[in-house]
Amino acid sequence: MTRTLIWFRDDLRTADHEALLTACQRAEGPGDVVALYVLDEVSPGVRPLGGAVKWWLHHALESLKADLAELGIPLLLRAGDPAKLLPALAQELGAEKVQWSRRYGGPERAADAGIKAALPEQRVEVESFNASLLHEPWTVETNTGGPYKVYTPFWKQISVRDPGAPVQRPTPLGPIADAEAALPTISEGAGNLEDWQLLPTRPDWAGGLRENWTPTETGGHARLSEFLNHQLEDYDDARDVPAGDNTSRISPYLRFGQLSPRQVWHAAHQETEEAVEKFLSEIGWREFCWHLLFHFPQLPHTNLRAQFDAYPWKTRDQAPEDFRAWAKGETGFPWVDAGQRQLWETGHMHNRVRMASASLLIKNLGIDWREGEAWFWDTLVDADAASNPANWQWVAGCGMDAAPYFRIFNPERQRERFDPRGHYVSAWIPELNTPDYPAPIVDLKASREEALEHYSQISGK
């Protein structure tokens, strides 16, 4: 018997999971494969999870446990430092192999490298797999051998490359009771999901999340099918319109690995709609963000264009009223306020509105992009370590392939263009056009001119 421990991270699914499949193919019966999830908020540099992500994680783990049980695989839960937990647990279980899906952030790679070096010392083999990207960062290079810093040529290269077909779900190994009976007695640790307190209670602000999402692997596939069958046809024309169901809304499922990019790619290529390529280019942008994080691990907290270090942005503590108005959706700009209220209620904001909201905070209110990124990190169900900071740096102009410094979204023009009948805004701001709705907190024209002056100074123009 060879017992394999599968360490799940951001790959909370059972289909298209090579680490899981290979272990099951090698197994002789129940108990030969054991799954593990570690809630790690203590490893050096690893960022604590935001509130909305914690809510999703709780339900994703509940769902994963049930799905694995159908395969005859127990899921163990632990909280703490994986560098200490994995070697100890592998020894207790008598595991000869530990397998996981690779991660691409700097702190995560460092943690994995340390564990990978330590486990062989106790005669435990380690094997890792790709589960989160179409193509891993070291497989995509420019003609000069470096990383892409501009999206268009990056997409041009990967859009014609075959990521391979998704692998199947494993065949069940046997009854879960037999698997649990086959395991040795092990220390419990922090093994109760309820004890992690991932769900909000006082107050319980997750009602809108429960109404809007099914945070399971099955829910992810259902959402993808719904989009491909009903929304894809009009995606090119309707994707920038936030009223209605016009986008895929699969980002949280990708963030938690309940859908794999390969599954999305394969399913989309079964469609004949012209809009498929535009949709897949959005998957490509996600891929680009992860490649940026791999090559520039300082992405979440440092301007990638160093000249922006001299930009006189304010912190939220230096502009508390402005930041609060922005976060609460009380800026007096309906387009932005609707988006912020949608975010708070559902854990999601339409991408077109995200860009305008970020632009207002950074370029009109003069608040540091990192403050907005941190707010989104805490409130978005799809907040991840790559796309969230990369998109904020894109809007700010300080990232790779960023928007030009002079591109400042006008929220009023955005509203007129993409919500001309007011369906989106009125859905989230019932007090609009009443005395209860606040006046604008900033002069768009004057603040735009001030931002352009600051940008001109740091760019040497």
Beta strand 4-8 with 97-101: parallel, antiparallel or unpaired?
Answer: parallel
Distance between CA atoms of 27 and 343, rounded to whole angstroms?
44
Distance between CA atoms of 244 and 303, rounded to whole angstroms?
35
Give the E-state strand segments of 27-91 in sequence order. Answer: 33-39, 75-79
- The pLDDT score that the predictor gives to residue 260 is 99
Query: Does 351 qualify as catalytic in the annotation?
Result: yes
> Which domains are present in the chain?
1-131 (3.40.50.620), 132-164+216-295 (1.25.40.80), 306-459 (1.10.579.10)
Query: Does 369 qualify as catalytic in the annotation?
Result: yes
Which is catalytic among the residues 7, 213, 290, 313? 313
Q: Tokens in use for 75? A: 């899921």
Query: Does 313 qualify as catalytic in the annotation?
Result: yes
Residue the block writes with tokens 């004949």: 272
Distance between CA atoms of 58 and 65, rounded to whole angstroms?
11
The neighbouring-strand residues paired with 126 are: 98
Query: Does 7 qualify as catalytic in the annotation?
Result: no
Which is catalytic among the residues 205, 246, 330, 351? 351
Which is catalytic among the residues 56, 213, 326, 392? 392
- The pLDDT score that the predictor gives to residue 202 is 87
H or E stretch including 98?
strand 97-101
Residue 197's identity, in one-letter code, is: Q
Query: Does 196 qualify as catalytic in the annotation?
Result: no
- The pLDDT score that the predictor gives to residue 274 is 82
Of 307, 217, 262, 286, the closest CA to residue 16 belongs to 262
359 among annotated binding-site residues: no
250 among annotated binding-site residues: yes
Give me the tens of pLDDT residue by residue for the chain, a chain 461 residues long: 789 999 999 999 999 999 999 999 999 999 999 999 999 999 999 999 999 999 999 999 999 999 999 999 999 999 999 999 999 999 999 999 999 999 999 999 999 999 999 999 999 999 999 999 999 999 999 999 999 999 999 999 999 999 999 999 999 999 999 999 999 888 766 678 999 999 999 899 999 999 999 999 999 999 999 999 999 999 999 999 999 999 999 999 999 999 999 999 999 999 877 889 999 999 999 999 999 999 999 999 999 999 999 999 999 999 999 999 999 999 999 999 999 999 999 999 999 999 999 999 999 999 999 999 999 999 999 999 999 999 999 999 999 987 787 889 999 999 999 999 999 999 999 999 999 999 999 999 999 999 999 999 998 64
Of 111, 103, 116, 142, the closest CA to residue 43 belongs to 111
Distance between CA atoms of 196 and 454, rounded to whole angstroms?
45
User: What is the side-by-side order of every strand in the sheet holding 4-8?
Assistant: 75-79, 33-39, 4-8, 97-101, 125-129
pTM above 0.85, yes or no: yes
